[in-house]
């Protein structure tokens, strides 16, 4: 591939939340290595990501992760053409770890540095594997921190059409799982357990926006689950150890900034198997998931029609969800549009997507200086 860079090898670094990740790509699509150190076991006992613990763990992991990514790719630092790093949105202390390491390597090796928006990274992950994607694409970015719709007009050209007004969809999954003592992260557990439940058993009303926007809201659904649990204490009577909690924000906060609960042994770990969960709870989970997924898909379809999209895409942790993938495929066939989503390892947080965006930035001569700082609330 023709390139203005010394080489097409880009090192990507991602540390915006609770995954320390590094990857080496040749150009925007060829992944030579993709290393991810997950912090889930550290945060699981708190039922959510503890920012202070996350940044400390990034500091401990980052050298190994970057070295592993380089070693697995077979490339040395001297062969790189550039470095890409996530500058936001995310947790400030976590972002700063990746940024510091990226800047240090860029300075020492005299390499150009690309500052990459994490959301742009998620959108780019949709484009890494397929040969060709018809544009414009209606892209749903749905994760633990974000639920947004973007019209992708070209690489690097996005129109933000909708965001969540409160919780993100993944956050709703995580909070419902916490409420039911099912462990963290909640999405994969609910995905699995909901298969044994009746999605029509509990009727949840859909959030409605009075101003006709395509924006999302998930806090009402989360509260409806809480109300149901309060009204059906018998459903949780047989829950496994670490079981139900009384509310969403339990009394705690010995660690600043956490939204989780205090450690009380192996809370929810391993996550409750279907056999130990009452049928009533399985039905509740299936109904919750049905409401959430159909809501996400309906908004995506509406937006796609409105903006004459030629394809549908989705990325971010919740895009791993089995029902969401199935329903989005169905929506695509109804609309006559192809649907794209990355393999799971590229769907959740990773550095390959960051390196891929970085390559495009550097091709366009879009570089960041060594004064680069984090922007925890960065928008795309
Ligand atoms: O993209 P990601 O790894 O990190 C963020 O940028 O937030 O997404 C993590 C989120 C968590 O909330 C997790 O519960 C959710 O993605 N998640 C899922 C599934 N796998 C992960 N939600 C629903 N179904 C899944 N299979
Ligand atoms: Zn993410």
Does residue 313 belong to any structural domain of this protein? yes
Dist CA 110 CA 367 (whole Å): 13
Ligand 1 contact, 89 CB (< 6 A): no
179 with 89, same domain: the answer is no
105 with 70, same domain: the answer is yes
216 Cβ neighbours under 8 A, 6+ residues apart: 147, 162, 163, 164, 165, 169, 207, 295, 296, 299
pLDDT tens digits, the chain, 380 residues: what are they? 446 789 999 999 999 998 999 999 999 999 999 999 999 888 888 878 889 999 999 999 999 999 999 999 999 999 999 999 999 999 999 999 999 999 999 999 999 999 999 999 999 999 999 999 999 999 999 999 999 999 999 999 999 999 999 999 999 999 999 999 998 899 999 999 999 999 999 999 887 766 678 999 999 999 999 999 999 988 887 554 344 433 333 222 222 233 333 333 333 344 455 568 899 999 999 999 999 999 999 999 999 999 999 999 999 999 999 999 999 999 999 999 999 999 999 999 999 999 999 999 999 999 999 999 999 999 99
84 with 148, same domain: the answer is no
Strands (E), the chain: 9-14, 19-26, 30-38, 82-88, 113-117, 137-142, 147-154, 157-162, 311-315, 339-340
CA of 316 to the centre of ligand 1 (A): 7
304 with 159, same domain: the answer is yes
**Domain tally, the chain:** 2
186 with 319, same domain: the answer is yes
Residue 298 near residue 312, CB atoms below 8 Å: no
Ligand 1 contact, 348 CB (< 6 A): yes
CA quadruple 43, 314, 207, 194: dihedral sign: negative
What pLDDT does 329 receive? 98
What CATH number does residue 210 fall under? 3.30.420.40
Tell me the β-bridge partners of 340: 313
Ligand 1 contact, 372 CB (< 6 A): no
User: By residue range, what is the domain housing residue 118?
Assistant: 9-126+348-363
65 with 162, same domain: the answer is no
Length reported for the chain:
380
Residue 340 near residue 132, CB atoms below 8 Å: no
Does residue 324 belong to any structural domain of this protein? yes
Ligand 1 contact, 349 CB (< 6 A): yes
What pLDDT does 274 receive? 58
Sheet of 113-117: strand order equals: 30-38, 19-26, 9-14, 82-88, 113-117
What pLDDT does 294 receive? 96
What pLDDT does 247 receive? 33
What is the number of other CB atoms lying within 10 angstroms of the CB of residue 106?
Answer: 23
Select from 46, 43, 47, 45 the least CA-distant residue to 18.
Answer: 43
Dist CA 48 CA 175 (whole Å): 9
171 with 83, same domain: the answer is no
110 with 156, same domain: the answer is no
Does residue 102 belong to any structural domain of this protein? yes
Residue 264's Cα: distance from chain center in Å?
27
Ligand 1 contact, 321 CB (< 6 A): yes
CA of 9 to the centre of ligand 2 (A): 23
Return the ∠ at Cα 123 (arms to 134 and 342), rounded to 5°.
Answer: 80
Structural Rg of the chain based on CA atoms: 21
Residue of the nearest CA to atom 16 in ligand 1? 317
227 with 329, same domain: the answer is yes
Ligand 1 contact, 342 CB (< 6 A): no
Q: Which residue has the tokens 């056999």?
A: 275
Does residue 380 belong to any structural domain of this protein? no
DSSP 17-67: SSEEEEEEEETTTEEEEEEEEE-HHHHHTTTS--HHHHHHHHHHHHHHHHH
Ligand 1 contact, 167 CB (< 6 A): no
Does residue 222 belong to any structural domain of this protein? yes
Q: Residue 230: helix, strand or coil by DSSP?
A: helix
Dist CA 352 CA 222 (whole Å): 33
Residue of the nearest CA to atom 13 in ligand 1? 187
What pLDDT does 254 receive? 25
Select from 6, 125, 79, 84 the least CA-distant residue to 361.
Answer: 84
Does residue 51 belong to any structural domain of this protein? yes
Does residue 155 belong to any structural domain of this protein? yes
Question: What b/e readout covers 17-30, taking b as 16+ CB neighbours within 10 angstroms?
Answer: bbbbbbbbbbbbee
Residue 48's Cα: distance from chain center in Å?
14
What pLDDT does 272 receive? 52
**CA-to-CA dists, residue 312 to 117, 169, 316, angstroms:** 21, 18, 14
229 with 279, same domain: the answer is yes
Does residue 377 belong to any structural domain of this protein? no
CA of 119 to the centre of ligand 1 (A): 14
Q: Which residue has the tokens 């590094």?
A: 22
285 with 142, same domain: the answer is yes
Residue of the nearest CA to atom 14 in ligand 1? 187
154 with 45, same domain: the answer is no
Q: Which ligand is nearest to the CA of 121?
A: 2
Dist CA 14 CA 296 (whole Å): 27
Ligand 1 contact, 358 CB (< 6 A): no
Q: Residue 232: helix, strand or coil by DSSP?
A: coil
């Amino acid at each position: 591939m023709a390139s203005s860079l010394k080489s097409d090898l880009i090192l990507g670094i991602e540390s915006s939340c609770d995954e320390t990740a590094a990857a080496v790509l040749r150009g925007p699509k060829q992944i030579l290595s993709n290393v991810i150190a997950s912090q889930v076991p550290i945060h699981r006992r708190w039922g959510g990501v503890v920012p202070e613990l996350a940044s400390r763990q990034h500091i401990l992991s980052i050298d190994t992760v970057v070295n592993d990514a380089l070693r697995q790719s077979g490339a040395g630092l001297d062969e790189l053409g550039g470095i890409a790093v996530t500058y936001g949105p995310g947790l400030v202390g976590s972002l700063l770890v990746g940024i510091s390491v990226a800047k240090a390597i860029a300075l020492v090796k005299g390499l150009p540095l690309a500052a990459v928006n994490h959301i742009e990274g998620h959108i780019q992950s949709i484009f890494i594997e397929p040969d060709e994607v018809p544009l414009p694409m209606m892209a749903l970015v749905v994760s633990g921190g974000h639920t947004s719709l973007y019209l992708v007009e070209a690489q690097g050209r996005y129109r933000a059409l909708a965001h969540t007004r409160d919780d993100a969809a993944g956050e709703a999954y995580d909070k419902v799982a916490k409420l039911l003592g099912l462990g963290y992260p909640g999405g994969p557990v609910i995905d699995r357990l909901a298969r044994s439940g009746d999605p029509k058993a509990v009727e949840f009303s859909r959030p409605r926006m009075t101003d006709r926007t395509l924006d999302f809201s998930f806090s009402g659904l989360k509260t409806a689950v809480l109300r149901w649990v309060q009204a059906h204490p018998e459903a949780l009577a047989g829950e496994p150890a670490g079981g139900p909690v009384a509310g969403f924000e339990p009394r705690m906060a010995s660690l600043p900034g956490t939204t989780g609960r205090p450690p009380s042994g192996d809370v929810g770990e391993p996550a409750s198997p279907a056999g130990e969960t009452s049928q009533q709870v399985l039905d509740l989970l299936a109904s919750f998931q049905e409401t959430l997924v159909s809501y996400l898909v309906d908004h995506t379809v509406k937006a796609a029609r409105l903006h004459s999209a030629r394809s549908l895409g989705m990325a971010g942790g919740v895009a791993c969800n089995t029902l969401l993938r199935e329903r989005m495929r169905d929506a695509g066939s109804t609309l006559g549009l192809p649907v794209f989503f990355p393999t799971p390892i590229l769907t959740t947080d990773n550095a390959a997507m960051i390196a891929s965006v970085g390559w495009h930035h550097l091709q366009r001569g879009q570089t960041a200086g060594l004064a680069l700082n984090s922007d925890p609330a960065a928008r795309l």
